[in-house]
Amino acid sequence: MKDSEHPFFRPLWRRVAVVAVCVIWSIIEFASGTPFWGTIALGFAGYGVWQFFYLYKPVDENKPTAEAEPKE
């Protein structure tokens, strides 16, 4: 399991919030005159968009997992 598939990130609002914090952080860094850190934060935001919106596959809640299945 990847960290982006952690159950914490299932709600859409949490994924949006993580990306929004990175974008806001980037804006603050650029506004304060530190473009290096602004670029780093913008890279985090881009990676978040890639992982949380492009590659993210929601888990089917109705599908039983291997852990929930009885073992013989």
pTM of the model: 0.73
- Sequence-separated (6 or more) residues with CB below 8 Å from residue 52: 4, 9, 15, 18, 19
Query: In the chain, where are the structural domains located?
Result: 10-54
Interval 20-41: pLDDT, tens: 999 999 999 999 999 999 999 9
Which tens digit of pLDDT belongs to each residue from 34-72? 999 999 999 999 999 998 888 877 666 566 555 656 665
With beta carbons less than 8 A apart as the criterion, state whether 48 and 4 touch. Answer: no
Asked if 15 and 9 touch (Cβ cutoff 8 Å), the reply is yes
Query: Which two three-digit tokens encode residue 72?
Result: 């013989």
Residue 1 has which token pair?
Answer: 């399991």
- Say if CB 19 and CB 48 are below 8 A apart: yes
